[in-house]
Structure 1
Amino acid sequence: MVRVSDSPVTPAAPARATALRPVDLRRVRLDEGFVGDWQRVNRDATIPHVIDRLESTGVLDNLRRLVGESDASFRGPLFADSDLYKALEAIGWEATRGEATPFLPFVDESVRLLAAAQEDDGYLDSYYQGPHAGERFTDLPQGHEMYKLGHLVQAAIAWAHAGRTDLLEIALRYVELVHETFGAGGRDDIDGHPEIETALVELSRLTGDTRHRELAKRMLDLRGYRTIGEGQFGGAYYQDYTPVKKSREATGHAVRQLYLLAGATDVELDDADAGYRSALDALWTSVHEHKMYITGGLGSRHRGESFGDPYELPADRAYSETCAAIANLQWNWRMLLLDGDAKYADEMERGLYNAIAVSTAIDGKSYFYSNPLQLRTGHTHEEDAPSTRLDWYFCACCPPNLARLLSSISAYLLTESDDAVQFHLYAAGRYEIGDGVTAQVATSFPWDASIEISFDGPTVRATQLRIPAWAQGATISVDGEPARTAEAGHARVPAGVRSIALNLPVEPVFERAHPWVDGARGALALRRGPVLYCIEEADLADGVRLEDVVIPAQPVAEEAGYDAALRAPALTISGGRRRAVDGDLYSAEAPASTTELGDVRAIPYFRWANRAPGAMRVWVPTV
């Protein structure tokens, strides 16, 4: 029987005392509201859709083929197994809340196939046991073998928390093979796609076996000596160009970089002497101050799905992969636990309501893989730069990744310390905050400014409320007393209270990009609270081309009411104008004249492409 620790049921529970501690996700029950509704759509629509597509695209057949139950050829990319593991993790988190019953036949079948396909020494990979049998661990730069194992481990951990350990036993057998092959005294090689590092640390926390964390640290410390080679995109693409502890600039494939940083932070969380902190701080600055889109999107180059140079953030060519935004939320969560700075939760919020939320349609059954901030009129539709969301992709990493995040989102809202409980992301629901006290949060945030927290008894510890950096003029009222202004960071309310009223202003404001961001120079972005807005072709009069729409240099935006179809409030920008442009591609003539257009309607960026394919932009030119 596998030993499982009594650590909190959560995606990341540090093994030592850190600034903040995660709260068991079973202590949070979400109510109707933005986050709660999204989690329900995930359970009712996204997960069933993912299961259907895993069957129809051959992911399960790839395993059946190994055990003589299918004669179909291998289908999908070589890392297709990882999509199954992410789906199993998503269902595992649902199981911890008692919500997984409809999915149990799928889980049982998947675990049966995995157990039957696993080799005697623990190896399990439908691609390298299938069409490329006998080539295991021969293409570490692109083979994704340990990346896939990492997702298997994380799925197994979710199910172990739910009380089921058969998947964990499968994962542990494979992990032992990796210890033998790549552990101390073994091969000094690393996988081209980081992910196993954070999974191994999580496994060490679950089982109490610190060998797994040491293996993760070994993999981190082997990276940066160009053992992978240059490959098609160069060593920086694999984060194998500079040792992790010496790295100061985010480079290469964005998802790989961010998963690597999550893993390094996990090791740092559990080992105060790990030595990654200065690199983590420098790389956080590189990512969030030099290479991140205003939406929280990451990765500005389609070539290699990679980070570009500092301030290289073209709106229309933004790659901004969904998985990168998810990885960044996971990394910021770990940094938040490490030292408690509210800036990490600010970035979690930015990504959640923009770069992550935009990836899925209202019905939860179609998705964006890349998330540009502009789509031009007449855009050429292609799979990695579509004109609208697709119900699946050949490389389908994002939909099941989204599913596992939303299934576990309850774990990312709340933390605690010895003397306080911290609310970071605001969602309606019931929170068991410890000390025998339950908090009820009532809010329609992010659409409404009001967040009401009532406690069923006087609080025993202080309550800390994150005040986002964007929320200038935020106020707090305690037990009905007059409201006071709260500054950005964590506002502290002493123990012994029964109610807190927090107001986070969500009036629309315009923002400018750093002047070095050439792709947004002379343009403005509209934000309402944490939500970025865009203008979309669907809201323009017939004959008006989106590229011709300009707004005043000092524009005014007003509320335009709640749009029931989009399930979000719309805004109007007054003083819109239309450029009169001739057909010359280049000209020495003066800029084209403009004519009055009237109010320009704006909708949340994450709701674009829910009505019809068409042009869209976040950064709107001014005149």
Structure 2
Amino acid sequence: MKKLFFAVLLYSSVACAQNKDYTISPVSFTKVKLADQFWLPKIETNRTVTIPASFERCENTGRVKNFEMAAAKSGKFCTKFPFDDTDIYKTIEGASYSLAVHPDPKLDHYLDSIITIVGKAQEPDGYLYTARTIDPLHPHPWAGPERWVRENELSHELYNSGHMFEAAAAHYQATGKRNFLNIALKNADLLVKTFGPGKRHVAPGHEIVEMGLVRLYRITGKKDYLDLAKFFIDERGKRTYDKTSTDEWKNGMYWQDNEPVTDQDEAEGHAVRAMYLYSGMADVAALTGDQEYLTATDRIWDNMVSKKMYVQGGIGAVPSGERFGSNFELPNETAYNETCAAVGNVFWNQRMFLLHGDSKYIDLMEKVLYNGLISGVGLDGKSFFYTNAMQVNPGSKVNKSLEAVRSGWFECSCCPTNLARLLPALPGYVYAQKGDAVFINLFVGSQANLQVNKKAVKIIQENNYPWNGLLSFTLSPETPQAFTLKVRIPGWVRNEAIPSGLYSFEKNQPASVTIKVNGKPVKYAMQNGYAVISRVWKKNDRLAVNLPMEVKKVIASPSLAEDAGKVALQRGPIMYCAEWKDNDGKVSNIVIPKGTTFTPAYHAGLLNGLTVLSGHVLKADTSDTSKIQPVRFTAIPYYSWANRGKGEMTVWFPEVAGTGTVSEKKTMK
């Protein structure tokens, strides 16, 4: 515990010594102890199932063996991709976060043993890339004949480094041990010697090294790391591509390399690469004050949210290249929505909030977390989706190649290990601070121990979110003190389906939010989506917030022609879908007429416990859509689908069958 305290103290002192940084600071996940009925079981499953399974699969698939062969400089790279090293790094990162809040000597020892294997694979000058080191004369085909020569596209050498830096920083901060950190710093120093003005120039083909370098800068205070992160970002747009080509690989868009980042105004290319780039830009902008970066990230975020995002928060619509499509290119049957892109979207929106303090970024982050992100992992904690579909019809010729069944592992297993590292860090997204203002961003049952004006404040949050909007907070400062509490009032309460006009609620009915302190209604001001309450807080003051949860119908912008005349269902932050299991084996012919109402009910024994929506709708005859009949209908949270076998699923429902208008009178009474 002393080591952990020292690590956190060092991190804080370095951060405070910097001249510039995010104007808002997240409350560390080590200061927030969860007691949440929704997230805690998922994080515990991640700790006890997902992380051990990930390590086991890293061993069974040869990922660990690659490091052992690199240390021996003998053998043949035995997995498929040169970035397979990162699956070990990401799992170490997740395990480190878990270890920080749940001490486990056995896991601690195992991590040390894996780190030893990784360290032995590192070359004397710091280079660490098993796809070349095992047999330098016959490296992986994507690697190129020499170091770095294909880094701008497929080698992933710097991508591997970035994930290693993230993992080493997490391990150091969790344990205080330097064994992994020293490996990372040796590699980072090699990058500083190799790249930069007057040295080798490259725009990394798969971003994340920028984020990783910033993590190391925060720990060490070594400005070379921050400068190199900015250098890599500034190198984008300098390579010669065929600007006349519509092929994203040939014109540079796939790599976000078609123009300088400060000139870019659309979310483009490979969606995961994009999220890591924009997150890195936000980090560097915060630490350097680069206003052009800020302007560009704002512009790109607006484009993504208003033109390139699915209703459940998914991004990256196009399977070919796992990439963003054109504006409003959001097909349902072929939707890609990679789980890693959802992880990256959480990273980026957290950073955008820390820059601007606007709740819209947390609104979007919440939508991703509760829907398009956790849909990527099965309820068993060891089966996964790489892609997250919007519509599944096993008989369709259009989307037959998309995933309708979860897999235990993938040849490219970036998504399972990305989830393994994000989930245990979730407590760090709940609260944030700016001066004497405390932000409550996520409604997650927990106890937080903060320092406000250098005095201890404890906040106990209790709720049954996301199934119920009654929120309770008990505030206990060590002595009575004045400070400001900023409680996010979600967009879905304020009649905003998403922070843009891309999706909206069918009925314009903002809900009335009730806020009480010690049982009495309290006046508050609304600011950037937050209810702002400034007062002298005393021990055991109780704040109660009631967020009315109604079932709402979501409609799409007219620009999304495929969703015209259709509705999606939302209650609170949860998006719903219909699955074959609950609807007589078929959902592709369901019609939800205007005026249809739904009843929410919690089912403790269904899919680990959740609230379902039920009502009476219509089903069209598959051979004659003009023929319809009333039926009982059940919708489940989108995140929970595909845990009961293979079959149809859909998120969007037509309000009209065929060409005729469906009358409300034909619904069941």
Structure 1 residues 382 and 157, CA gap change in structure 2 (3 angstroms): farther
Match of 2:630 in 1: 597
Match of 2:533 in 1: 493
1:388 aligns with 2:405: yes
Among 96, 114, 119, the residue aligned to 2:118: 114
What does the per-residue CA deviation read over 1:368-400, in whole Å, with 9 as the maximum and x for residues that have no partner?
010011111325799972221111010000111
Q: Is the 8 A contact 1:475 1:485 kept in 2?
A: no
Cα separation, 2, equivalents of 1:546 and 1:423: 38
Structure 1 residues 72 and 192, CA gap change in structure 2 (3 angstroms): closer
Structure 1 residues 17 and 155, CA gap change in structure 2 (3 angstroms): closer
Q: Which amino acid aligns with 2:471?
A: I
Cα separation, 1, equivalents of 2:210 and 2:387: 25
Match of 1:532 in 2: 575
Structure 1 residues 240 and 324, CA gap change in structure 2 (3 angstroms): same
Match of 2:593 in 1: 552
Q: Is the 8 A contact 1:414 1:423 kept in 2?
A: yes
1:63 aligns with 2:61: no
Using the TM superposition, name which of 481-490 and 393-402 deviates more.
481-490
Matches within 5 A, 1:85-234: 85-131=89-135, 132-133=138-139, 135-140=146-151, 141-162=153-174, 163-227=176-240, 232=249, 234=251
Match of 2:9 in 1: 6
Deviation at 1:17, TM superposition (A): 4.8
Cα separation, 2, equivalents of 1:120 and 1:482: 66
Match of 1:587 in 2: none
Q: Which amino acid aligns with 1:491?
A: A
Match of 1:278 in 2: 295
Equivalent residue of 2:99, what SS?
A: helix
Match of 1:74 in 2: 78
Structure 1 residues 383 and 333, CA gap change in structure 2 (3 angstroms): farther
Q: Is the 8 A contact 1:28 1:429 kept in 2?
A: yes
Among 310, 316, 330, the residue aligned to 1:313: 330
Deviation at 1:256, TM superposition (A): 0.6
Matches within 5 A, 1:382-461: 385-434=402-451, 435-457=455-477, 458=480, 460-461=482-483
Cα separation, 2, equivalents of 1:294 and 1:568: 23
1:342 aligns with 2:379: no
Matches within 5 A, 1:20-59: 20-59=24-63
Cα separation, 2, equivalents of 1:383 and 1:376: 8
Among 279, 302, 323, the residue aligned to 2:340: 323
Match of 1:295 in 2: 312
Deviation at 1:555, TM superposition (A): 2.1
Structure 1 residues 40 and 486, CA gap change in structure 2 (3 angstroms): farther
Q: Which amino acid aligns with 1:509?
A: K
1:503 aligns with 2:546: yes
Segments of structure 2 that go 5 or more residues without pairing to the other structure are 1-5, 140-144, 494-510, 657-669
Cα separation, 1, equivalents of 2:521 and 2:577: 37
Equivalent residue of 1:535, what SS?
A: strand
Q: Is the 8 A contact 1:387 1:614 kept in 2?
A: yes
Deviation at 1:5, TM superposition (A): 7.6
Q: Which amino acid aligns with 2:230?
A: K
Among 308, 318, 333, the residue aligned to 2:350: 333
Structure 1 residues 13 and 302, CA gap change in structure 2 (3 angstroms): farther
Equivalent residue of 2:154, what SS?
A: helix
1:474 aligns with 2:523: no
1:576 aligns with 2:617: yes
Structure-1-length-normalised TM-score: 0.93
Equivalent residue of 2:366, what SS?
A: helix
Q: Is the 8 A contact 1:476 1:500 kept in 2?
A: yes
Q: Is the 8 A contact 1:342 1:466 kept in 2?
A: yes
Deviation at 1:19, TM superposition (A): 2.9
Q: Which amino acid aligns with 1:137?
A: W
Deviation at 1:575, TM superposition (A): 3.6
Q: Which amino acid aligns with 1:450?
A: L
Q: Is the 8 A contact 1:577 1:594 kept in 2?
A: no
Equivalent residue of 1:561, what SS?
A: strand
Q: Is the 8 A contact 2:384 2:406 kept in 1?
A: yes
Q: Is the 8 A contact 1:531 1:604 kept in 2?
A: yes
What is the identity percentage for the equivalent residue pairs of Structure 1 and Structure 2? 34
Q: Which amino acid aligns with 1:424?
A: N
Deviation at 1:412, TM superposition (A): 1.0
What does the per-residue CA deviation read over 1:453-477, in whole Å, with 9 as the maximum and x for residues that have no partner?
0123445421110111111322211
Q: Is the 8 A contact 1:59 1:76 kept in 2?
A: no
Match of 1:588 in 2: none
Among 591, 606, 615, the residue aligned to 2:639: 606
Corresponding pairs, count: 611
Cα separation, 2, equivalents of 1:397 and 1:325: 12
1:256 aligns with 2:273: yes
Q: Is the 8 A contact 1:5 1:207 kept in 2?
A: no
Match of 2:390 in 1: 373
Q: Which amino acid aligns with 2:520?
A: E
Cα separation, 1, equivalents of 2:597 and 2:447: 38
Cα separation, 2, equivalents of 1:557 and 1:370: 29
